Amino acid sequence: MASEPTAAGGAPAPQPAAPRRRPPCVLSFSLARDRFLRRRFFSAGLRPFSIRLPSPAGAGTTVHVWAPPRPARRPVLLLHGFGASATWQWASYLRPLLAAGFDPIVPDLLFFGDSCTLAADRSEVFQATAVKAAMDAIGVRRFDVVGVSYGGFVAYRMAAMYPEAVDRAVMVCAGVCLEETDLAAGLFPVAGVAEAAELLVPSRPADVRRLVHLTFVRPPPIMPSCFLRDYINVMGSDHNQEKTELLHTLINGRKLSDLPKISQPTLIIWGEQDQVFPMELAHRLERHLGEKSRLVVIKKAGHAVNLEKDKEVCKNIVEYLREPILSALNGEK
């Protein structure tokens, strides 16, 4: 059998991704929307690649990435949060980023979309390692990184682990400064990790309704159970056990004193009415990073600020990333 082609650094070369396989679904709104969003990625010039990571660290690990076939401009890595695949969270950002001179690169984190692993590691460190290996495989060595919620945890870890690769970071409602004791103290709408997992990995229409009402300031007024059940079946039924394990690993024993300080200029964007990661965590992160950070609060928005106020969030991201590096470091407004 012929050996697998490799990219620079010995990583396997990215392979065109196979079409996503979904169970047959008659009149599925979720499947139709998924196809529509994928077409937006194609129309923006991005293509899907499946990157099998080399052994031993990446044994049995495949990272699915949307990227330009030959990234030639300033790359911006976009990391999604819990929920559906990356296409559902970043589609509206592609055109503005491209128009501003950036190349968006959009992976599915492990156990979301078409990314998966046989490894037992559930830490954000492993997620960061996998995404960095995928970036190496497509030949992108330096980039800015934007992370939403859970994706912000991975983005922060990448900035800490790979300072030579990450130029700037943008953290969107990413509660990296949370501590496990915050749950018992009542800072969050959940009192423990198990309840957090039930909220963020919904299995019933009622769970999805609760999640939407917590994350949006203006949730849809009508959410029929048939639509919510369809969404769970099509987009939210894969790797639920593994996603729950990700949350347990993320929260159990977490202490602010263990969080490293990253050296990159960092923009912090937060929804003013975030109920999942309250504003206290934004201020903690700003204090933790000091003069290298800048906080932007988006009015009339909750935790899903990247969806609820996508134009405003994208505008802030573009303006920040286009600033001279010294201005960003000095936290100038």
Q: How many CB atoms lie within 10 A of CB 295?
A: 19
What is the CATH code for 46-322? 3.40.50.1820
* Residues whose CB is less than 8 angstroms from the CB of residue 154 and which lie 6 or more positions away in sequence, other chains included: 79, 109, 124, 127, 128, 131, 147
* Cβ-contact 297, 250 below 8 angstroms: no
Q: Higher pLDDT residue, 328 or 271? A: 271
Least confident of 102-111, 196-205, 319-328: 319-328
Statement: the pTM of the whole predicted model exceeds 0.85: yes
- CA end-to-end span of the chain, whole Å? 58
For residue range 129-171, what is the model confidence (pLDDT) as tens digits?
999 999 999 999 999 999 999 999 999 999 999 999 999 999 9
| For residue 6, pLDDT beyond 50 | no
In angstroms, the CA 261 to CA 120 distance is 27
Q: Letter for the amino acid at 236?
A: G
Query: Does residue 52 register a pLDDT over 70?
Result: yes
What residue segments make up the domains of the chain, in order of their start? 46-322
* 174 vs 70, more confident: 174
pLDDT in tens, 69-102: 988 899 999 999 998 789 999 999 999 999 999 9
CA–CA dist 214, 306 (Å, integer): 14
d(CA 111, CA 230): 19
Q: Phi and psi dihedrals of 324, rounded to 5?
A: -60, 145
Between 216 and 26, where is the model more confident? Answer: 216
What is the residue whose two structure tokens read 């000095």? Answer: 330
pLDDT at 277: 94
* Share of residues in the chain with pLDDT > 70 (%): 88
Is the separation of the CB atoms in 223 and 231 below 8 Å? no
The whole-number average pLDDT for the span 106-123 is 95
- Provide the 8-state DSSP code for 243: H
